A and B are shown apart, each in its own frame.
Chain A
């Protein structure tokens, strides 16, 4: 009986409880919250971030980090907008943007896995540098007026009430779930995250796995950047600044350890839902975007701090308990 209830103590069930509270609060405070339109809107307003969160889950489980995702999104969108501004057909611009993502990801991956630099520093340089390149391309112009079909893909529903980006997210979610939880590659991601050296000595090609992940991260970020450009209908040099904070928050809140090797996509999915509902709820309460970011930041810290403190308290508790028992045993022996 007790074993059956063991899952209640897991991180995922805590997330589920929080989610129920947030959704319940939203549903009670706004009458049309539970309508299909609002629920799709809920996803659609942050669809780029949650798409990038999928690949970030892989990277953090692999004990690395990619701080440059927001800048890659901006850079890819700016490459496309820059070419569109010069009358290049948009299809070629899209291809060039995706290629940019691959190249940038390959560069990050090369620096991390072959040169052996810390991923934090490499992607921090990327965060500054790629954003700088985006500013170089568009300077302070705002490029819009994309072809009508491009904007429609980003803004209008594609199948029934569901827009393209949402379909893309669910397809990628299924692929990510299968790859991470059920494939050999997914096992490698966990093994390397647990111990890079142990993985290498067991014959896992660590460099190739890391390289693959960073290229995928670049490509997916570029794709997300294009979705953002289509959704907003225009691109600027500073579009998608600060995305990395929300994305990392979603992943870490989902129970993925920042030191790698543990966590699951189910947890990340739950935390994505929590963050989206929280933002939606705060938006309904007229809380500004910057304050929302602050709340997300606090959530990020608390998601690590609270488990640490509870573990500490539990440790102290059990140590005291054990000390008492030892004393009792000693007294019995003495008597």
Chain B
């Protein structure tokens, strides 16, 4: 029991149970729906998950610091629409330049969020709720007609969306999927090993302690918002490539999906808890379940949101009730197994006091 506890944390339990659930969903619906393991469903789910994954990873960075970003949906929408418009005006724009334009726009928007929140000391909820409206109205007020259609784009955009880097028996691996996986690996490593990543956790678990401990909290949070905006800009580019048809309502509500993915994946909205892998597993499970239910029950698309709301509540409740208790058990054994017994650290303090 002790060895299990040493090599195994409650957070990992969450990830294992998500993997288990995903496999269970696969098995169950595979036996219920004909042609469930077809390339079409696979391609559809992976491309959708790829976009939301990139956005949700950015959101997780911010959530870890005990802040929120409710404006990512508007950032994704604005960058997709803005870059789409630019491409329709200048069809000979270099693909790399279009990508940089999207990322730069997102980074700039994230920077504005971060400045208002970390240096202006505006609560993140207020600031990003306001920016959600501002970025969206910037998109609506954008001059010219309010839609971009597939025929406006140069050919490479459309090719990029349906291209496959390699394919195994019809199961395509799309470029967007590879990009999402790369982002996942990078940010999982950053948050797990780099000082910057660990500081995000430190600030989220106890902002006051982090400040007293000398961490430049303002700068770290600012940078987290900038990264979140950058990833949302990248998400906007992927959105544009994947869907082609854009209007002023693109990606509306994506901030809720991103937060849902993170919360289902075990990221705490009180900061300091969660992993990137968890977020991605959460995004994958939500999308898989939605697509499967749509095909299985032949229920209408209208159930999707009602279902998403329920899923968030269930995830948070499980977190509060079960995982909270598990963490208590782990924390207690952590004290007991310390050399010198349970009172080890306390005695040391008493010596100093004497």
Q: Which residues of A contact B (CB under 8 A)?
A: 65, 111, 115-118, 120-122, 124-133, 135-136, 139, 237, 245, 248-249, 252, 258-259, 288, 290-291, 293-301, 304-305, 308-309
Contact of B126 with A304 in the complex, beta carbons under 8 Å = yes
Residues of A within 8 A of B134 (CB): 294, 297-298, 301
Of B18-26, B86-94, B136-144, B166-174, which stretch is located at the interface?
B136-144
In the docked arrangement, what's the CA distance between A124 and B317, Å? Answer: 14
Known contacts A139-B300, A290-B141, A294-B136, A258 near B308 by CB under 8 Å: no
Contact of A115 with B317 in the complex, beta carbons under 8 Å = yes
B232: Cβ under 8 A from any A Cβ = no
B305 touches which of A117, A124, A135 (Cβ 8 Å): A135
Residues of A within 8 A of B132 (CB): 245, 297
In the docked arrangement, what's the CA distance between A259 and B321, Å? Answer: 25
Residues of A within 8 A of B302 (CB): 132, 135-136, 139, 237
B334: Cβ under 8 A from any A Cβ = no
- Distance to closest chain A CB from B143 (angstroms): 13
Residues of B within 8 A of A120 (CB): 68, 125, 269
A288 touches which of B120, B140, B304, B320 (Cβ 8 Å): B140
In the docked arrangement, what's the CA distance between A116 and B68, Å? Answer: 19
Would you list which residues of chain B between 282 and 328 have a CB under 8 Å from chain A? 300, 302-310, 312-313, 316-317, 320-321
* Smallest CB gap from B306: residue in A: A132
Known contacts A124-B256, A139-B302, A309 near B141 by CB under 8 Å: no
Residues of B within 8 A of A248 (CB): 126, 129
Contact of B306 with A133 in the complex, beta carbons under 8 Å = yes
- Distance to closest chain B CB from A126 (angstroms): 7
Residues of B within 8 A of A304 (CB): 120, 122-123, 126-127
A245-B129, A300-B133 given; name 13 further pairs at CB < 8 Å: A118-B316, A121-B316, A129-B312, A129-B313, A132-B303, A132-B305, A136-B302, A245-B133, A258-B123, A294-B138, A294-B140, A294-B141, A301-B127
Q: Name the residue among A121, A132, A248, A259 with the largest chain B CB count within 10 angstroms.
A: A121
B121: Cβ under 8 A from any A Cβ = yes
B263: Cβ under 8 A from any A Cβ = yes
Q: Which residues of B contact A (CB under 8 A)?
A: 68, 116, 120-123, 125-127, 129-134, 136-138, 140-141, 248, 253, 256, 259-260, 263, 269-270, 300, 302-310, 312-313, 316-317, 320-321
21 pairs of residues in contact across A and B, judged by CB atoms under 8 Å: A115-B320, A121-B269, A122-B316, A125-B312, A125-B313, A125-B316, A128-B253, A128-B312, A129-B309, A130-B309, A132-B304, A132-B309, A135-B305, A248-B129, A291-B140, A299-B130, A300-B133, A304-B123, A305-B120, A305-B122, A309-B120
In the docked arrangement, what's the CA distance between A132 and B309, Å? Answer: 8
- Distance to closest chain A CB from B211 (angstroms): 16
Contact of B131 with A132 in the complex, beta carbons under 8 Å = no
A128 touches which of B120, B136, B260, B270 (Cβ 8 Å): B260
Residues of B within 8 A of A308 (CB): 120-122
Contact of B305 with A129 in the complex, beta carbons under 8 Å = yes
In the docked arrangement, what's the CA distance between A258 and B270, Å? Answer: 16
Residues of B within 8 A of A290 (CB): 136-137, 140-141, 248
Residues of A within 8 A of B123 (CB): 258-259, 304
* Smallest CB gap from B317: residue in A: A115
- Distance to closest chain B CB from A137 (angstroms): 9
Residues of A within 8 A of B116 (CB): 301, 305
Contact of B137 with A293 in the complex, beta carbons under 8 Å = yes
In the docked arrangement, what's the CA distance between A189 and B20, Å? Answer: 44
Known contacts A290-B137, A291-B141, A294-B141, A125 near B309 by CB under 8 Å: yes
In the docked arrangement, what's the CA distance between A65 and B307, Å? Answer: 22
* Smallest CB gap from B253: residue in A: A128
- Distance to closest chain B CB from A48 (angstroms): 18
Contact of A297 with B129 in the complex, beta carbons under 8 Å = yes
Residues of A within 8 A of B305 (CB): 128-129, 131-132, 135
B317 touches which of A117, A132, A298 (Cβ 8 Å): A117
Contact of B126 with A128 in the complex, beta carbons under 8 Å = no
Contact of B133 with A293 in the complex, beta carbons under 8 Å = yes
Contact of A118 with B269 in the complex, beta carbons under 8 Å = yes
* Smallest CB gap from A131: residue in B: B305
* Smallest CB gap from A248: residue in B: B129
* Smallest CB gap from A237: residue in B: B302
B125 touches which of A130, A258, A296, A297 (Cβ 8 Å): A258
* Smallest CB gap from B314: residue in A: A125
